[in-house]
Structure 1
Amino acid sequence: MHVGTGNNQTFIDVNKLFVSLGTNLCCALPGYHAFTGCDFNSAFYRKGKKKPFEILRKSPTYIQALSGISQIPNCDIDQLLTDLESYVCRIYGFAGVDDVNTARVLTFNRAYGNKDDCNPINLEKKIDGSLFPPCKAELNQHFIRTAYIAHLWSNAHLPVPTNLLPSDYGWEKIEDKYFFKWFVGDQLPPSITSISNMDLNIEEEHDTETDGVCDITIDNSDDSEGSDEEENL
């Protein structure tokens, strides 16, 4: 493969790369690229490609999941989504959490936790929503878009790569144009009570971790590698 310009031109031996990476990891690359951000799908803000790739190559589970999504509709969507939800938590620095909604609450508590019990809305910092992992409703749509894109790329050698419709996989068609379907359902919680109950459930789950310790880290470092095309989910 010829790359570069001027005095920086070179050739990359793609076959050698394939042998070095291995069949399983190479099969996961279309799904990995679509999942972490491409021309047709949004990226995880400031997470880039390098860190997610290092996490991927160390996990047979994530490799299998990102390989399997290109097989839609002949795959277990629910199981793959469960595995990739865990993958997103790892990308955001949570080693002991597998639920993105829980990761969002923990991110908020860690970064913006209020120390004034008398005034719970007196936050010390301005909230930056781009630092939060996507919620599960958004991740579901991101996932099925990823599946469609990976399926298309994996069958690009065929005369008809796919018969699937984008409108069934994370897009909606409006006046002959396709737009992201960001989520399905209510945009806001139905009541304050529902938020309080969810928060209590998360605290109880967190308190029951082994010996009261949960391996959680928050990583908001910029690993975007200078990309201007990334969007916050």
Structure 2
Amino acid sequence: MQLVVKESKQLVVTDKKQVLTVPPRKDTANLATCNHEEADTRMMVLAADALECGHRRILIRTVDTDVVILAVALANERSEVQDELWLTFGTGKNRRYIAAHQVAKALGPEKSRALPVFHAITGCDTVSAFAAHSKKAAWATWNAFPEVTTAFLSLASTQSELPDGVLSTLERFIVLLYDRTSTCCDVNVLRKKLFSRKSRSLEHLPPTRAAKEQHIKRAAYQAGHTVSGDRPQ
């Protein structure tokens, strides 16, 4: 059986680290060899390749928030050439179109680059979230504490060792996430305060410092794959 694709169309199918294309392509350097295991980042590799091939308007269909975050980051990287990266998000009556390139423009370059790290730290497919604290609450905390943007960008650079300044800034972000009026910078101190004075249940307390550091390392690992999601590895 031979697969026939309409003229001017191209089908790209992943095959482990390689790709199969119909009709066959001589140059697949932008697509393979690729060891991305998650479909989310693999989609960005395909979208970036389509843009490199001269397509100025891309449409991705998804129901996954992770894909939206990655698309905004990719659109930010392509902002100088005025590419349009669209998503159809949701299903049925809840399906809507999202212009990732317009979102990236509204956020600005720094916040767009930091967005995948923010998403990883506050909970994604492979990193746990902070109990009882929504993305909306975390976003409001980011807006109230813009200094954390630099820390997010530092994690996006995928350094092997996290600088102490980055850890302390992220710890302050977590403190503010759990108590917006707090002046302390130590999650252990805040845990004690919330438990003793505000009668918080254990699941509503911030993580310990040790747990916080492991959480950040996990988020940094995930972010390292995410921010390079438009390139084969």
With the shorter chain as reference, the TM-score category is 0.5 to 0.7
Cα 1:7–1:131, aligned 2, differ >3 Å: closer, same or farther?
A: closer
Identity of aligned residues (%): 30
The equivalent of 2:137 in structure 1 is: 51
Give the Cα–Cα distance (whole angstroms) in 2 for the partners of residues 29 and 105 of structure 1.
31
Q: Cα RMSD between the aligned structures?
A: 1.7
State TM-score, norm by structure 1.
0.59
5 Å-filtered alignment, 1:129-144, equals 129-144=202-217
**Corresponding residue SS for 1:60:** coil
The Cα of 1:38 is off from its aligned counterpart by 1.1
The equivalent of 1:2 in structure 2 is: 88
The equivalent of 2:194 in structure 1 is: 107
Asked if the contact 1:68–1:75 (Cα under 8 Å) also holds between the matched residues in 2, the reply is no
Unaligned segments of structure 1, at least 5 residues:
113-126, 161-233
* Equivalent residue in structure 2 for 1:128, among 183, 201, 207: 201
The equivalent of 1:35 in structure 2 is: 121
Give the Cα–Cα distance (whole angstroms) in 2 for the partners of residues 65 and 158 of structure 1.
23
| Partner AA of 2:108 in structure 1 | G
Residue deviations 1:98-140 (CA, integer Å, cap 9, x gap):
100100110111134xxxxxxxxxxxxxx73101110000001
Unaligned segments of structure 2, at least 5 residues:
1-86
Cα 1:19–1:105, aligned 2, differ >3 Å: closer, same or farther?
A: same
State TM-score, norm by structure 2.
0.59
1:159 is aligned to 2:232:
yes
The equivalent of 1:61 in structure 2 is: 147
* Equivalent residue in structure 1 for 2:167, among 75, 81, 84: 81
Q: Count matched residues.
A: 146
Give the Cα–Cα distance (whole angstroms) in 1 for the partners of residues 138 and 166 of structure 2.
17
| Partner AA of 2:216 in structure 1 | F
Detail structure 1 runs of 4+ shifted over 3 Å in the superposition.
none
**Corresponding residue SS for 1:2:** strand
